[in-house]
Amino acid sequence: MNYKPLMLMLYKIGAVKFGDFTLKSGEQSKIYIDLRQIVSYPDVLKAVGEAMWQQVSGEPFEVICGVPYTALPIATCISLQQNIPMVMRRKEKKEHGTKQTIEGNIKTGQRCLIVEDIITSGASILETADDLEVAGLKVRDAVVLINREQGGVHNLRQRHYNLHATFTLKEFLNTLLHSEELSEEDRMIASHLIHEGEVNAS
């Protein structure tokens, strides 16, 4: 599939930024993907949901769950587009009411797809998978928009999970470099990242 239009849209709305950033994993990076921006652009959110679903559309998932919090709108979008029930994972366990970590109509043994925006180490996906499995759901697959190629696939495979990525960060950067959209400063950073091998798998 040609995801160039989607990649360019993400850059135009500021969902990809170049500079100096500290990632959740603690690693330093010259690029930051901020997909929280897409909630303000329904057409982009819809395109993201459709692109991600194309990676797993042949699989019989019974429920889906977005990793909190950035992936929740994406998971909701996919749920509505594909008419698949959704469950939600709380980051913090409730201390009142049902005190549940997973919210929604859950049936033991249902196959659940985890939805995440980006994978770096895969820690957030693994945390979500743990809670879903404790709740009785069957987890084998996760889908992301962008794979940063920094060990996440390996970490998921260690736990026998399959990762389905729409595109890699390197593919994203190459597409931006061959477009007219990048500012000169951003073009220099993107070119450096690729040529120095800083976006390759570690």
At residue 97, the pLDDT reads 54
At residue 91, the pLDDT reads 79
Token pair of 55 as six digits:
């990676």
Tens-level pLDDT at each residue, the chain (202 residues): 899 999 999 999 999 999 999 876 677 889 888 999 999 999 999 999 999 999 999 899 999 999 999 999 999 999 999 999 999 998 776 555 556 899 999 999 999 999 999 998 999 999 999 999 999 999 999 999 999 998 999 999 999 999 999 999 999 999 999 999 999 999 999 999 988 766 643 3
Count CB-CB contacts under 10 A for residue 57. 11
At residue 39, the pLDDT reads 97
At residue 198, the pLDDT reads 62
At residue 53, the pLDDT reads 98
Domain layout of the chain by residue ranges: 4-91+100-195
Selecting from 3.40.50.150, 3.40.50.2020, 3.60.15.10, 3.30.1360.120, what CATH number does the domain 4-91+100-195 have? 3.40.50.2020
- DSSP string covering the chain, please? ---HHHHHHHHHTTSEEEEEEE-TTS-EEEEEE-GGGGGG-HHHHHHHHHHHHTTTTTS--SEEEEPTTTTHHHHHHHHHHHT--EEEE-SS--SSTT--SEES---TT-EEEEEEEEESS-HHHHHHHHHHHHTT-EEEEEEEEEE--SSHHHHHHHTT-EEEEEEEHHHHHHHHHTSS-S-HHHHHHHHHHHHTTTTS--
